[in-house]
Amino acid sequence: MQARLLLSDGTHFEGLSFGKPGTAVGEVVFHTAMCGYQEILTDPSYHFQLVTMTYPQIGNYGVNPKDFESRRIYAAGFIIRELSPIVSHWQANRSLDDYLKFHGVVGIHDIDTRALTRHLRDHGAQMGMITTTKDPLPALLEKLRRGEGLVGRDIVKEVTTDKTYVWPLSEEPAPAPKKKYRVAVYDFGVKFSILRSLYKSGCELEVFPARTPPDKILAWKPDGIFLSNGPGDPEPVDYAVDSVRSLLGKKPIFGICLGHQILGLALGGRTTKLKFGHHGANHPVKHLPTGAIEITSQNHGFIVDIESLPKDLVEITHINLNDQTLEGFRHKRLSAFSVQYHPESAPGPHDSQYLFDHFIKEMETFNA
């Protein structure tokens, strides 16, 4: 079946449909990882995005029962060059095409993803539409331009948990717990791999909805507070910024991705939107205190403006070597630190796992 990809600037591509036929709308971004499409699709941080994979052949190892980051697909749609006709992996239980069909997600393949990536890099990420309809392009373009974008819109409320829960889930295979520290996790779109990493580090985890008031967090008597990843623009998530601001100094705080941006806003910083974002598993980041270079996994379209953070309160700890944007900071007096990237490495390299150990040490020192 024929399919089309239409961008809000009028650029369009012709291709073939896979997954569920229909129409999907979202922000079109490109992702530079060679693998990990199952984790990418199920990561809540990709909510409301049409994800383009730059690696040419996708789907060759299928989908397996273990590499999920949530219980469903959050990406609005999937864009690839070549859909592998063969699935070959000992853990696979279905094809990528079948997986998208099962979750009702629209995909398009057999398009020039290199040309699309260059266009997004030159002109910026923008709203787009994948469709199998035969409607005229001018009508589709008008409909697309009338829709909502990401800036100024709170989409955390669409991905956060409805109620508090304990990790691990009943169906989650887990090692014998150490349970040395109680960690309250603010769920802005948390990934299972982040919870697994915290759990393996010896944390007893309670996951709380994004709007949970600070007094309820403190009533659980945590040793530390974790601010998770999540999708979209951080500034409309003002309720989370207010909560974090009131929790500063009361418990050690560790934030990643959207949680990093929310901590930055709580400290008086500002956030801005990147031209085409950082989406991939190969972004070089320099750890300024040691000079070490980490290759990191990232997915974000917004950043904390490095110049906006108060220099008397904040020390910059990590810088992106591609564009010199802020990748990490810590409070100079309080136990609070964060990074823009994903240290749980799913998918991605393991260079940043040390950050979970650092969080443990922060809790040890704070609660000594």
What confidence tens digit (pLDDT) does each residue in 286-295 have? 999 999 999 9
With tokens 């443990």, the residue in question is 360
The verdict on 270 and 327 lying in the same domain is yes
pLDDT in tens, 303-332: 999 999 999 999 999 999 999 999 999 999
Q: What is the mean pLDDT of residues 5-33?
A: 97
In a domain, 298, yes or no: yes
The verdict on 170 and 58 lying in the same domain is no
Q: Is the pLDDT confidence value at 179 over 80?
A: no
List the CATH number of the domain containing 351: 3.40.50.880
* Count of structural domains within the chain: 2
Per-residue pLDDT at 52: 98
The verdict on 130 and 163 lying in the same domain is no
Q: Report how far residue 74's alpha carbon sits from residue 291's, in angstroms, rounded to the nearest whole number.
A: 36
Percentage of the chain with pLDDT > 70? 97
The verdict on 141 and 241 lying in the same domain is no
- Amino acid type, 55: Y
The verdict on 323 and 176 lying in the same domain is yes
The verdict on 80 and 18 lying in the same domain is yes
The verdict on 108 and 202 lying in the same domain is no
In a domain, 109, yes or no: yes
- Amino acid type, 73: I
Label residue 351 by pLDDT band (50, 70, 90). Answer: confident
Pairing of strands 165-167, 203-209: antiparallel
pLDDT in tens, 231-276: 999 999 999 999 999 999 999 999 999 999 999 999 999 999 999 9
Residues acting as catalytic residues? 257, 342, 344
Per-residue pLDDT at 358: 94
Residue 307, phi then psi, degrees to nearest 5: -80, -15
Per-residue pLDDT at 176: 58
The verdict on 166 and 314 lying in the same domain is yes
Indicate the helix (H) or strand (E) that contains 262: helix 258-266
Per-residue pLDDT at 177: 59
Q: Tell me which of 120, 146, 172 is where a domain ends.
A: 146
Which of 281, 294, 361 shows the shortest CA–CA distance to 328? 294
The verdict on 207 and 346 lying in the same domain is yes
Q: Is the pLDDT confidence value at 9 over 70?
A: yes
User: Which residues lie across from 203 on neighbouring strands?
Assistant: 181
DSSP 8-state assignment for residue 56: S
**Could you tell me if 66 and 91 are in contact, meaning their C-beta atoms sit under 8 angstroms apart?**
yes
Instruction: Indicate the pTM of the whole model.
Output: 0.95
Structural domain boundaries, residue 244: 156-366
Indicate the helix (H) or strand (E) that contains 42: helix 37-42
